[in-house]
Amino acid sequence: MMKKTTLIPVAVLLMAAGVCLGCADKSRRSEIEQRKAALVHKQDSALAEAQARLAVVDSMLEATKAEHDRQHEYVMSHSTKLNENSPEVQKLNQLRAHRDSLQVEWQTLGAKIKYIRKKQSEK
């Protein structure tokens, strides 16, 4: 004996699959919109954080540059009396290293801010 297949369950199954696909599409769109909103929020917070850090680094860099210049002037004016192991020369070297690291951080933060603004303007 052969079983008879009816068309009604197959049609119901196809309709259910179509409804599920439609729901998945709406869900996917909603998920994409949520991710876009999260990206905007992340960019805004990263921009604010980078700008605040840049302000701090900028003031530290200016103070370190001024202190380095004073120390450099002192060391150069007393160069005949000082050697490379003198505390004054050691301090000058430390100030130079600190100044250079602040300069790199300042440049990096500036590039980060520029990049975030560029990405925000693309939308």
Question: What is the Cα–Cα distance from 86 to 122, expressed in whole angstroms?
Answer: 54
Q: With respect to residue 101, please indicate whether it lies within any of the assigned structural domains.
A: yes
Query: By three-state DSSP, how is residue 72 classified?
Result: helix
Residue pLDDT, tens place only, 88-118: 999 999 999 999 999 999 999 999 999 999 9
The answer to whether residue 110 sits within a structural domain is yes
Residue 97 belongs to a domain: yes
pLDDT category at 73 given cuts 50, 70, 90 is very high
Looking at the domain assignment, is residue 122 inside a domain? yes
d(CA 90, CA 101): 17
Q: Is residue 17, in this structure, part of any structural domain at all?
A: no
pLDDT at site 93 = 96
In a domain, 19, yes or no: no
Number of domains in the chain: 1
Domain that holds residue 51: 42-123
Whether the predicted model's global pTM rises above the 0.95 cut: no
Residue type, 69: D
Q: Give the lowest-confidence range in 25-29, 39-43, 81-85.
A: 25-29
Lookup result for tokens 């690291």: 101
- Nearest Cα to 70, choosing from 42, 54, 92, 44? 92
